[in-house]
A and B are shown apart, each in its own frame.
Chain A
Amino acid sequence: MAKRKRERPGTDDEAVADMTPMIDVTFQLIIFFMLQKFKTLEGKLDAFLPKDVGVNTSSAKPMEKLDVHVFLLKKGSWTKKENRKIWKGRKIWWKVQDRSYYSKQAFEKGLKEFCKRMRDPNDPSHPLPVTLHAHKGVFYGEVTKTVDYILYSGFEKVTFAGGYTK
């Protein structure tokens, strides 16, 4: 009878790859990338709607305010990318009281001048309101940029005028 070869304990065990850590790491990565897409901190611009409109019949206190108009100058052209229209070559212009501005720099400079002129030296904390009129064909992006310029120039309260036509 052949002598049975004595085996050292444990040597006939099959090597089993433990998949748990790999699956765990994969899940971690999936969740990480999911979060990457949604976890974005956005910014905001505060604005107001007129309170003395619609059903409200009470009269509002008259106050000095600046009227800013945004007009479309050049419509530009668009291409479609991922179900979105991307516009290029667009131009807008602004009218503040009776002055017209065709560049961002001139508009910002003009707003700062208006702000300086309207600011009461005896009451510098008094808010300077602006009413914004966005006209036909203007996009949301162009209006928000205008609001941004207005707020940066020193005006505090931007109110939107109604009566927009398509």
Chain B
Amino acid sequence: MAKKSIHLKTDLPIDMTPMIDCVFQLIIFLMISVDLSQQDLEDLKLPEVDHAVPDQNPKKNRPIVNVDQEGRLIMKRRTLYDPTKDQNRIRFQIQLRNIARAMEHKMDPDVKMELPDDPLLLRGDEFTDWYHMAKVMEDCGLKNIMIWKIQLAVAESQEAKKRNEALLKKMSGH
């Protein structure tokens, strides 16, 4: 009698879960890597206003100066000036000068000089004394810096949020 061959009939379903998981992990990893620019933003409570322009698609490498309640100047997680420790603001001014040098310059018809044409984003806590912000602006106006375009970082107020949401609803309804 011929030996009966054992034929293992096994269905092997391919488990897609690990692959999907890995894909998600990769997507999220890439999202975070791209979002590394957010490390420029210190954890500050920005003032809320009603009519701010959303800060969408800012220019790459736009300089961001964070000013906390104590007047510390922080750029890319580095404290460049601490009023309680530093005697002067030279470290911050040198940094600003390097940033201004790297900016695109344009001839200004009013003052007949080449001036940096890129803006600087100034972020402060809502209860930061304006004095500290004004000092940063003073530094921006120094010789070899001359940054004159400033953007003040703000947050959207609850009232504005509701208004914008209602507007979006209205638009999607049409």
Q: Is the CB of B130 within 8 A of A45?
A: no
In the bound assembly, the distance between CA atoms of A144 and B45 in angstroms comes to 13
Q: Which B residues lie within 8 Å of A3 (CB)?
A: none
Q: Is the CB of B156 within 8 A of A60?
A: no
Q: Give the size range of B's interface with the partner.
A: 35 or more
Q: Is the CB of B141 within 8 A of A39?
A: no
Q: Which B residues lie within 8 Å of A152 (CB)?
A: 50-51
Q: Which B residues lie within 8 Å of A41 (CB)?
A: 54-56
Total A-B contacts with CB atoms under 8 angstroms apart: 172
In the bound assembly, the distance between CA atoms of A50 and B150 in angstroms comes to 11
Tell me the nearest residue of chain B to A161, going by C-beta. B134
- Which residue, A20, A38, A152, has most C-beta atoms of chain B within 10 A? A38
In the complex, B108 has a CB within 8 A of chain A: yes
* The one of A39, A60, A85 that contacts B111, using a Cβ cutoff of 8 Å: A60
Q: Which A residues lie within 8 Å of B134 (CB)?
A: 134, 160, 162, 164
Q: Is the interface of B mostly helix, strand, loop or mixed?
A: mixed
In the complex, A126 has a CB within 8 A of chain B: no
Q: Which A residues lie within 8 Å of B138 (CB)?
A: 162
Q: Which B residues lie within 8 Å of A127 (CB)?
A: none
Q: Give the size range of A's interface with the partner.
A: 35 or more
Which residues on A are within 8 Å of B, measured CB to CB?
Answer: 20-21, 24, 27-28, 31-32, 34-35, 38-39, 41-56, 58, 60-61, 78, 84-87, 134, 136-145, 147-148, 151-152, 160, 162, 164-166
Pull 12 A–B residue pairs with CB atoms less than 8 Å apart, ordered by A.
A35-B31, A42-B155, A44-B53, A44-B152, A49-B137, A49-B140, A78-B127, A86-B127, A140-B152, A147-B49, A162-B138, A162-B141
Which residues on B are within 8 Å of A, measured CB to CB?
Answer: 17-18, 21, 24-25, 28, 31-32, 35, 38, 41, 45-47, 49-56, 67, 69, 108, 110-113, 115, 119, 121, 124-131, 133-134, 137-138, 140-143, 146-156
